[in-house]
Chains A and B, each alone.
Chain A
Amino acid sequence: GDSVVQTEGQVLPSEGDSLIVNCSYETTQYPSLFWYVQYPGEGPQLHLKAMKANDKGRNKGFEAMYRKETTSFHLEKDSVQESDSAVYFCALSDLGSSASKIIFGSGTRLSIRP
């Protein structure tokens, strides 16, 4: 079945560092890919999206490129800020079956050191 893998449970960059959070996926269909963000005490919310291969999602200085050849959707930022501290979930939805049903990765906690 479909799956999303996030290899890092937590990353601890310093403010101003560059960031890459890894995400890989597995599916036999043609998914759309997402990053959801969860701030402390809140539910997750959509952060950015890429609807098809070679699309790039962007939001608040974060970017993620939908790479079909490597089945990856890594989250990147040039310079992180303390306010970026949150849990980030990579996710996919399968437009071929049900676009509303989303499969989430295990999440990566981003803790920015001041």
Chain B
Amino acid sequence: DAEITQSPRHKITETGRQVTLACHQTWNHNNMFWYRQDLGHGLRLIHYSYGVQDTNKGEVSDGYSVSRSNTEDLPLTLESAASSQTSVYFCASSESGEREYEQFFGPGTRLTVL
């Protein structure tokens, strides 16, 4: 069965360190997204991609970067982790075309920055 996976599921790091969160999907979807989920803010879009070599900034992109070198993966990098980036991070994907509004989410990564 097709799926979307995230790793690690939990991560504790220190302020100033670089951190990379992995996202891998086997749906063969063109569109991929990274969100962060914080209490009272819902899901906020960090970065998104509509295909290989395409990346775009979302509403809360400062301090984060992504790269898309193949269809399956969209890793999220925190260049220099800050305590404000403690959050739960979700990766999602969707197909292009008629059902592009339906996003399929991974199980999430809980990141703590000390």
A contact residues vs B (CB 8 Å cutoff): 6, 9, 32, 34, 41-46, 49, 89, 93, 99-102, 104-107
Complex contact B103–A106 (CB within 8 A) = no
Q: When chains A and B are docked, how far (Å) is the Cα of A105 from the Cα of B93?
A: 19
Give A32 to B100 CA distance when docked, in angstroms: 11
The answer on a CB contact under 8 Å between A106 and B101 is no
Closest to A34 in B: B101
Chain B interface residue bracket vs A: 20 to 34
**Cβ of B106 to closest chain A Cβ, rounded Å:** 5
| Contact yes or no, A102 B103, CB < 8 A | yes
A43-B106, A100-B50 are known contacts. Are A107 and B42 too (CB-CB below 8 A)?
Answer: yes
Residues of chain A within 8 A of B34, CB atoms compared: none
Q: In the bound complex, do residue B42 and residue A105 qualify as a contact, i.e. CB atoms below 8 Å apart?
A: yes
- A46 to B41, alpha carbons, bound, how many Å? 19
Q: Are A44 and B105 in contact (CB under 8 A)?
A: yes
Contact flags (1/0) for B74-95 with A, using CB distance below 8 Å? 0000000000000000101010
